[in-house]
Structure 1
Amino acid sequence: MSHIPSAEHATAALRLMDGFSLEMTGKDLAGLEEARVSVPPGTRVNVTFLGNEDLEMRVAAAAAVARAGFVPVPHISARRLVSQAQLEGFLDRLQAVGATDHVFAVGGDPSIPEGPYPDALSVIRSGVLQRHGVQEVAIAGYPEGHPEIADEVLWEHLEAKHAALTEQGLATVLLTQFAFDTGPVTAWIREVRSRGIDAQIRIGTPGPAGVRRLISFARRFGIGANAMIVKKYGFSLTNLMGTAGPERFIGGLSTELDAEPAAGDVKLHFYTFGGLPATSEWARSYVADIQRQETA
């Protein structure tokens, strides 16, 4: 495999890959079953909360993750919740299948809230989560900003969410939007730590996927993807028929974090744009290649 980190930075790359997490939708039960052989036991698998999925699909996916020997991290999309009763019902069902220890609370896509929760902070402050056995809450981070939210508001909410979770005795994880450029990611990590937030950080990373698909998601989420950035990442905007993986991104990030002793606990979270089986198999092969290089 190309773009394996140099021997000098191989340890840092393995440290970054150790304990990576994955993402799946409620519809991807077949993909989860196929990926089982490639995913290390105990891996966190996030289960999305999309508008085209229903309660049964989300709960079934979380239950399947737990049965497979992985750790389910169900998403709670604040603005998609129509009532506190719906949130309570969702958490009741998740708790029944052993899937409420870890959750990801996020604002969600709708520009107008469908119920009483305008953002993830309001869900956290409601006190509902810990009543259903939640021990740890992941919250969103945006190294390149958000197309519709000012940076100062993002930082204000990040700090408020972390403070509210700490006050409630719940652990915090910062889970970021994906990026193609390591520079903003490293700068964002530095800023997080300078604000006194020592929570684990999981850097959103695109799994291997078609270039056209990657660009589509980048545009949707306001991710920097100009010609210079994507060339650094490993593909060209003039060739949209190919595929691209995150080898260069991970190698570059691990090198930069090696020079940031205050970076703290940083892991990777893979967005499975190319499918859960392809991403998990890629991760298994990538780690094996680095380990072979270290022992060669």
Structure 2
Amino acid sequence: MNAPMIHPGWHLPQENIVHGVSLEMTAKDIESLDKAAGLIPKDIPIAVTFLAGESAEMRIAACKRIRLLGCEPMPHFSARRITSEHDFLEYLHAAVGEAGVRRCFVIAGDSAQPEGPYADSMALVRTGAFEQAGIKVIGIAGHPEGHPNMSPAQCLAVLREKCSEITARGMAPLIVTQFAFDAPHTLAWLAQLRREGIDAPVRLGVPGPAGIKTLVRFAARCGVGASTSVLSKYGISIGSLLGSAGPDKFLNELERGLGPEHGLVRLHFYPFGGLEKTAQWIADYARAH
């Protein structure tokens, strides 16, 4: 499948691996975003999560602040948490009208049962609302270390179906992955994706620097493989959960392994240790490399 060419400049071998990264924040992180603003490159995408307890108004405010900073807001739409068609369309049109949103990220969400009419992310895509609102890019989730409720084959089939649907609607699919700790496994997953004919750009999820206990807790919550052997390669010792860890080893291994067979690739940072700390780490890594 050939997505619309609106991802120029991706995967240039001469680039530093942290060039053109994207970030993630919650609606409550506006103050942290302001403090980190001087470290964040202009034009990069910044995703705004869809969490329980944060209103649509809070998310729109975060998107507007991202736009004011010269970056590209990418709000999440959590299908099972959307209570009605009215709420969905109101949020979408406010994001476009007030924050100039051009890209959205759609997920099923972690609710066991839908709170409204949308059971999964495909149900949102098939409403036609995104393209009608002028959205150009739809982000979808990838799982290099597996999905708790689907086999690897099922995950690939779902990704292929979503990419095809988004492309058929005149938008560009973008795969944003769950964070991972195992670089060889991530590279193998990415190569398999391309062999299967899924050629959408991929942003590989990377946990920003954070306390080791925090990283392990998020890994357990998200179903990420965090065995002792994998974590030790990442630089984390299960025997000592004190201190903090950054993704230096993970990124170095990714950079050595990435090749043409992996297609269009960039990074997406999950700032578990805070936006300021993550933005500073990215800036320091870029200077050092």
- The verdict on a shared fold, with TM-score over 0.5 as the criterion, is yes
Are the structure 2 counterparts of residues 27 and 13 from structure 1 closer, same or farther at C-alpha, using a change threshold of 3 Å?
Answer: farther
Q: Is the 8 A contact 2:219 2:225 kept in 1?
A: yes
CA distance in structure 2 between the aligned counterparts of 1:195 and 1:160, rounded to whole angstroms: 12
Match of 2:25 in 1: 24
For 1:60-81, what per-residue CA distance to the aligned partner results, in whole angstroms no more than 9, with x for missing partners?
0011000111110100111111
TM-score normalised to structure 1 length: 0.91
Match of 1:152 in 2: 153
For 1:64-123, what per-residue CA distance to the aligned partner results, in whole angstroms no more than 9, with x for missing partners?
000111110100111111111111000111012234201111111101111111111111
CA distance in structure 1 between the aligned counterparts of 2:280 and 2:164, rounded to whole angstroms: 37
Give ranges in structure 1 of 5+ residues lacking alignment: 1-10, 291-296
Q: Is the 8 A contact 1:138 1:174 kept in 2?
A: yes
Match of 2:133 in 1: 132
SS state of the match for residue 115, structure 1? coil
- The percentage of counterpart residues that share the same residue type is 39
SS state of the match for residue 129, structure 2? coil
Q: Is the 8 A contact 1:73 1:99 kept in 2?
A: no
Letter of the 2:282 counterpart = A
For 1:122-162, what per-residue CA distance to the aligned partner results, in whole angstroms no more than 9, with x for missing partners?
11111111111110001000011111233333222111110
Q: Equivalences for 1:1-296 in 2 at 5 Å?
A: 14-257=15-258, 260-290=259-289
CA distance in structure 2 between the aligned counterparts of 1:15 and 1:196, rounded to whole angstroms: 27
Instruction: Note the C-alpha offset of 1:14.
Output: 4.1
CA distance in structure 2 between the aligned counterparts of 1:119 and 1:47, rounded to whole angstroms: 19
Q: Is the 8 A contact 1:13 1:250 kept in 2?
A: no
CA distance in structure 2 between the aligned counterparts of 1:164 and 1:24, rounded to whole angstroms: 27
CA distance in structure 2 between the aligned counterparts of 1:283 and 1:176, rounded to whole angstroms: 19
Q: Is the 8 A contact 1:233 1:246 kept in 2?
A: yes
Give ranges in structure 2 of 5+ residues lacking alignment: 1-11
Q: How many residues align?
A: 278
CA distance in structure 1 between the aligned counterparts of 2:272 and 2:145, rounded to whole angstroms: 19
SS state of the match for residue 100, structure 1? coil
CA distance in structure 2 between the aligned counterparts of 1:106 and 1:213, rounded to whole angstroms: 23
Q: Is the 8 A contact 1:138 1:172 kept in 2?
A: yes
Q: Is the 8 A contact 2:20 2:266 kept in 1?
A: yes
Q: Is the 8 A contact 1:141 1:177 kept in 2?
A: yes
Structure 1 segments of 4 or more deviating over 6 A? none
Instruction: Note the C-alpha offset of 1:12.
Output: 5.1
Q: Is the 8 A contact 1:59 1:93 kept in 2?
A: yes
Are the structure 2 counterparts of residues 163 and 131 from structure 1 closer, same or farther at C-alpha, using a change threshold of 3 Å?
Answer: same
CA-based RMSD of the aligned residues comes to 1.3
Letter of the 1:274 counterpart = G
Q: Is the 8 A contact 1:16 1:266 kept in 2?
A: no
SS state of the match for residue 62, structure 2? helix
Instruction: Note the C-alpha offset of 1:196.
Output: 1.3
Q: Is the 8 A contact 1:20 1:270 kept in 2?
A: yes
TM-score normalised to structure 2 length: 0.93
